[in-house]
A and B are shown apart, each in its own frame.
Chain A
Amino acid sequence: MSDSMNSKLEDRRDFLKAGGLVAGVTLAPGLLFYGVAQSRAPEEGASSRQRWGMLIDTTKCGDGCSDCVTACNTENGLSGKTGPQDSQWIRKVDVKDLRTGYVQSLPMMCQHCDNPPCVDVCPTGASMKRADGIVLVDRHACIGCRYCMMACPYKARSFVHEPMHDQKPDVPRGKGCVESCTFCVQRVDKGEQPACVEACDAKGHKAMLFGDLKDPQSAIFKALKSTDSVEVRADLALDTGVRYQGI
């Protein structure tokens, strides 16, 4: 890319940031909107200057609320069934402290690891990590061997057993392929938030925070810097993109 192109892009970013700042200041003082995903040009691919991640505050997550799951199903065209052969990209998990009896509810999905075991074991290269850290399955190369499902410590992946009909144009899905949470990559590439995050915000829980882990200005960067958060199964050193607080 030429220098002039770079400087143009920089100018545009600065402009957008400034716009966001102004909007934040005018709409509600103290509430800044530049933490949301920044859109990029369609011809501009995913860049390693970004890394998408999520912070889930389990103390805010509503017990019995499954709006994130419903939103995911609607956005991605999943049936919503929870049988052993049905796809679940995000599921609500209840965790109980056996000694005290304290129960917590939290959403669990693909953790978008920096060192993803699913990518390590994939024999065809179908399981892959995009430059911006989103872990995806390239269905054009997936042979449905399901090694990745076995390798995933979070049980995040599903296999499509039956022929599909009436898929969403943005979310191709078909029999014989493994699939999992994509962070709603079709929305993220447009500069929008994943469907689950939007639903959680709409419900008023605001338990899910999505953003760029590498951008010091992003809300998630600041939140991670100021609060204690953990990876699930941190002992595996996978450097997950999804982190939890309150567990």
Chain B
Amino acid sequence: MNAPENLATLGSPPEHPQGAGRVRNAAEAATATLGTKKHLGRPGVLLQRMNGMARVANLPDLGKWFRIVACLGAMAFTAIPSMQVVAGVDLPKLEHGKGDKCVDDVAFIRRHHPDLLKHHRDETVRLGIRTTKYSLKKCVECHAGSKTGSVASSKEDFCVACHRYAGAKLDCWDCHATKPGKQAAVPDAKPVLPLHGGSK
């Protein structure tokens, strides 16, 4: 995303290489057109061609203001596309999962996790292959949120945050557990039995 660049453009348009060029060209063009037509000294033709605007532009004082307004207009026009990007929704902030890294390259997982999970689910249910690399259960064990202990209980939880942003509905959690099982290591979990066997 190039949001920072666009922000800079909005703040000071002339500094942006493309934007500045376009603004300058538009301003020069406006000046040049008005100047040429003024120089021609044929108000009748101009009146026909340029309607009311040129009629006013022929007046020496008002013409200058119109050039400025035209420049501002041109600047505003070039800034519109950048504004749309900046006005979008912020990217979801995802909590870092447990461990150092994901089971595969993160970009690859982001792009292909639906296919990987779908492939894995068929292998597991129908063929009884229970590898853990692309297992949904393992995803949940690493990515359950620290607040809710779940991947899909709140808007900030790992799966929901991204899928809400993308507007893609999830039905995995109609059936699958959103929280890791008791066997899975939970960071704050205290041992059920006292470690040294003594009572306090």
Contact = CB atoms under 8 A, between A and B. Distances in A.
B129 A44 contact: yes
A43 B128 contact: no
Nearest to B140: A169
Given A45-B123, A140-B121, A169-B140, A174 B128 contact: no
A170 B124 CA distance: 11
A167 B177 contact: yes
Contacts of B177: 166-169, 172
A80 to B, nearest CB: 18
B140 A43 contact: no
Interface in B117-171: 121-123, 125-132, 137, 140
Interface residues of A, number: 27
A185 interface: yes
Contacts, number: 60
A83 interface: no
Interface residues of B, number: 21
B174 A131 contact: no
Nearest to A190: B130
A60 interface: no
Nearest to A128: B126
Contacts of A128: 126
Nearest to B123: A45
Q: Point out which of B123, B176, B179, B181 has the most chain A C-beta atoms below 10 A from its C-beta.
A: B176
A132 B127 CA distance: 9
Interface string A161-188: 0011011111011110100000001000
A172 B175 CA distance: 5
Q: Point out which of B122, B123, B175 has the most chain A C-beta atoms below 10 A from its C-beta.
A: B175
B180 interface: yes
Interface of A: 42-46, 128, 130-132, 136, 138-140, 163-164, 166-170, 172-175, 177, 185, 189
Nearest to B180: A169
6 contacts: A46-B128, A130-B126, A131-B127, A139-B125, A139-B175, A167-B177
Contacts of A189: 128, 130
Interface of B: 121-123, 125-132, 137, 140, 174-177, 179-181, 184
Contacts of A185: 128
A168 B126 contact: no
A167 B175 contact: yes
A9 to B, nearest CB: 15
Contact of B131 (A42, A131, A140, A166): A42
Contacts of B129: 42-45
B130 A42 contact: yes
Contacts of A177: 175
Contacts of B174: 163-164, 174-175
Nearest to A125: B126
A222 B83 CA distance: 78
Given A42-B129, A42-B130, A189-B130, A172 B176 contact: yes
B170 to A, nearest CB: 13
B125 A140 contact: yes
Nearest to A171: B177
Contacts of A44: 129
Nearest to A77: B177
A189 B125 CA distance: 11
